């Protein structure tokens, strides 16, 4: 049978000096130490890396030594999940200081079980009171106008200069190099000022004039409307959107689409016997076909 020491503290600003002082005799004897530094008590003991390693390395009959019961568990649910594991592995749990120093907390007798449950309930109540006092203190400090946490890297005037420079066109990385901060700090300042959000109406943004675009030359906000022959040709080719420049315009230049030819849509086709000729569609490979029924053209077609 061997003794195994377990140490834990909640935050990185705390130390385990008090626990080591209570366990000084065992440390001098060379007992192995297992630690969980900066680990919250809300995390169950079976989920902690240091205590899990202790369970894997412990043998039957070994004793787990802790300086305070709160270093291992602070809730009823934690101790109720821990005691069956210790019992199956044949391990003992003892506290080195206080009224519980002579009691094996892993024992299965009813008296120990009741005492451990009451102790865990008291420790859980103590932890909840500490959390409640902390929240009240933070709320009081915020009401008084105090700034919590570490100081900001840039003051209010520098943050306003960053926002103005970004809106004038300066890049985020350039602003970070200029103020000797990380780009994430610049993005946080811009997000707090809502400088990187798009406006609700995108058409309110000023648009730069491009003389090479047809809509800018015409002075309109959209492209010029197409002729009925162009729209009919796009429907025959299966293109709902505006054709690309290298497709529709080149075919129009070659004369494959003749806008001067009369176009009769299929849904306005004259009924048989009226003497009107149906629409003629010329396929590049199969010649001329006559559409007397409203059939969807799947292949590339051109009006002749």
For 216, other C-beta atoms within 10 Å of its C-beta total 14
The pLDDT value given to residue 282: 46
Q: Residue 96 contacts by C-beta under 8 Å, 6 or more apart in sequence?
A: 22, 23, 26, 65, 66, 67
Q: How far apart are CA 288 and CA 304, in angstroms?
A: 9
Sheet holding 280-283, edge to edge: 287-290, 280-283, 302-303
The pLDDT value given to residue 13: 85
What DSSP letter does each residue of 188-231 carry, written as one string? HHHHHTT-SSPPS-GGGS-----TTSHHHHHT-SSPPPPPHHHH
Q: 58 near 4, Cβ under 8 Å?
A: yes
Q: 62 near 1, Cβ under 8 Å?
A: yes
The pLDDT value given to residue 233: 62
The DSSP letter of residue 288 is E
The pLDDT value given to residue 265: 45
Q: How far apart are CA 114 and CA 283, in angstroms?
A: 92
H/E element holding 29? none
The pLDDT value given to residue 153: 84
The DSSP letter of residue 287 is E
The DSSP letter of residue 245 is I
The pLDDT value given to residue 115: 86
Collapsed DSSP state (helix, strand, coil) of residue 237 = coil
The pLDDT value given to residue 240: 52
> Residue with structure tokens 């915020």?
142
> What architecture is domain 3-140?
3-Layer(aba) Sandwich (3.40)
Task: Tokens for 257, please give them.
Answer: 């689409």
The pLDDT value given to residue 28: 93
Q: How far apart are CA 162 and CA 288, in angstroms?
A: 67
For 249, other C-beta atoms within 10 Å of its C-beta total 13
Q: How far apart are CA 170 and CA 6, in angstroms?
A: 55
The pLDDT value given to residue 4: 95
Query: Closest Cα to residue 257, out of 225, 281, 279, 291?
Result: 281
Active site residue ranges:
10
The pLDDT value given to residue 34: 95
Q: How far apart are CA 100 and CA 116, in angstroms?
A: 10
- For the chain, residues with pLDDT lower than 70 are 198-304
């Amino acid at each position: 049978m061997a003794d195994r020491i377990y140490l834990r503290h909640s935050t990185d600003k705390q130390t385990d000096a008090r626990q080591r002082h209570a366990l000084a005799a065992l440390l001098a004897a060379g007992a192995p130490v297992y630690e969980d530094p900066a680990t919250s008590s809300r995390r169950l003991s079976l989920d902690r890396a240091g205590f899990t390693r202790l369970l894997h390395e412990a043998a039957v009959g070994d004793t787990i030594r802790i300086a305070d019961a709160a270093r291992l568990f602070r809730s009823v649910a934690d101790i109720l999940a821990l005691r069956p594991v210790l019992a199956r592995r044949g391990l003992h749990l003892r506290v080195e200081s206080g009224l519980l120093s002579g009691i094996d907390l892993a024992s299965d007798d009813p008296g120990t079980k009741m005492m451990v449950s009451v102790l865990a309930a008291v420790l859980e109540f103590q932890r909840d009171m500490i959390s409640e006092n902390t929240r009240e203190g933070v709320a009081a400090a915020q009401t008084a106008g105090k700034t919590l946490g570490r100081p900001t890297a840039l003051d209010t005037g520098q943050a306003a200069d960053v926002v103005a420079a970004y809106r004038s066109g300066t890049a985020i990385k350039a602003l970070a190099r200029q103020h000797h901060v990380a780009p994430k700090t610049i993005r946080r300042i811009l997000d707090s000022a809502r400088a990187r959000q798009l406006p609700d109406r995108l058409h309110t943004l000023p648009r730069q004039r491009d003389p090479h675009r047809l809509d800018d030359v015409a002075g309109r906000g959209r492209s010029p409307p197409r002729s009925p022959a162009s729209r009919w040709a796009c429907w025959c080719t299966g293109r709902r959107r505006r054709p690309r420049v290298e497709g529709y315009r080149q075919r129009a230049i070659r004369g494959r689409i003749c806008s001067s030819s009369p176009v009769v849509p299929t849904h306005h086709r004259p009924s048989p016997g009226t003497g009107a000729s149906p629409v003629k569609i010329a396929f590049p490979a199969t010649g001329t076909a006559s559409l007397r029924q409203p059939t969807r053209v799947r292949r590339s077609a051109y009006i002749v």
